[in-house]
Every structure is written in structure tokens, then in C-alpha cells.
Amino acid sequence: MLIDTVKSLIFFIVAGLFEIGGGYLIWSWLREGRPFTFAVLGAILLVLYGIVPTFQPANFGRVYAAYGGIFIALSVLWGWKIDHVKPDEFDIIGMCIALVGVFVIMYWPRAA
């Protein structure tokens, strides 16, 4: 069970990095005048983002609901480390609430 949870979290993190990274590259191309190759790489990452969640051990709705919390946390961390926008206490509190939601939606034991 623990191994399955760890694998699932890794899939969430990889999907998040692909989505945020892909979006960031396209943002950089459109808003910051970066070369078109940024857009192409961003599009490739976004396609990969769409594939990775299919490896999750749950149905589509549950996976994407839980992924929303992972996306929130990774976005805060991306902003801090890549854009150098330090999260404040409300960012951290919101991120933690979202992550609690992830664990309830995705990993809370359910009756068979």
C-alpha cells in the first residue's frame, strides 16, 4: 500500500511539473518574447502532462480532483523557486489545506 501511494504521488508530481513547466514555457514565449522553441517544448510537456495521470490507480474524476491540490502546492513552490516570489503564511496555509484534500480524496481508506 505504501509503495502504491508513493508511486501515485510521484505520478502527480511528474504531471504537475510537466503542466506547470509547459505552461511556463508557453507563457515565456508569448509574454516575454522567448523563441518559438519555448512554445514547442511547452506544448510537448503539456501533452505529456495529459498522459501521466492515466497511470494513476483511480478513476478520472478522483485523480483530477486530487491533482488540483498537488497543482496548487507545486505552483506555490514553482513561484518561490523559479519566479522568486516567496510564499507568505496564507500561501502556505492554503497549500497545506489543498494537500490535506489530496490525501482525503485519493488515499483515505474506503470500505470495499
pLDDT attached to residue 1: 78
Q: What is the DSSP code (8-state) at residue 83? A: S
CB 79 within 8 A of CB 87: yes
Q: What is the C-alpha separation between 3 and 58, in angstroms, rounded?
A: 15
Give per-residue pLDDT as tens, 12-38: 999 999 999 999 999 999 999 999 999
Give per-residue pLDDT as tens, 88-98: 999 999 999 99
